[in-house]
Amino acid sequence: MARQALRPGDRIPSQRDLAQTLRVNPNTVQRAFREMEALGLVETVRGEGTFVRNDPRLLAALRTEMAQAAVRDFVREVRALGMDEEEVVALVRAAFRGEEMTAWPSDPV
């Protein structure tokens, strides 16, 4: 949902089908469905299935929360590599352009 692979109104595979496809315990999938329903991401219609709710603000908040978590993890890792903010920004800009960094701004020439 956060990656927009599932759109509002889309039907989600059944818990049993999803467990088989992902090769995980059905109880794990059931817990995930309960959590998504508790968060308001999906709604289950008895006899019809589970559907992605149409709540753009909630989906935007979910995407932001997931992106922030990914950025926090990334920053922790690059700090552990001894990189400073300037180097990290250059790295991210290069990645967005599809380029590889061959030298860092702080590298001696």
**Domain ranges within the chain, ordered by starting residue:** 11-54, 57-97
Res 108: pLDDT = 57
Res 104: pLDDT = 61
Q: What is the DSSP string of the chain?
A: -TTSSS-TTPEEPPHHHHHHHHT--HHHHHHHHHHHHHTTSEEEETTTEEEE---HHHHHHHHHHHHHHHHHHHHHHHHHTT--HHHHHHHHHHHHHTPPPSS-TTS--
Q: How would CATH label the architecture of 11-54? A: Orthogonal Bundle (1.10)
| pTM exceeds 0.75 | no
pLDDT, one tens digit per residue, over 39-95 is 889 999 999 999 999 888 888 888 899 999 999 999 999 999 999 999 999 999 999
**Alpha-carbon distance 108 to 24, whole Å?**
50
pLDDT, one tens digit per residue, over 13-49 is 999 999 999 999 999 999 999 999 998 899 999 999 9
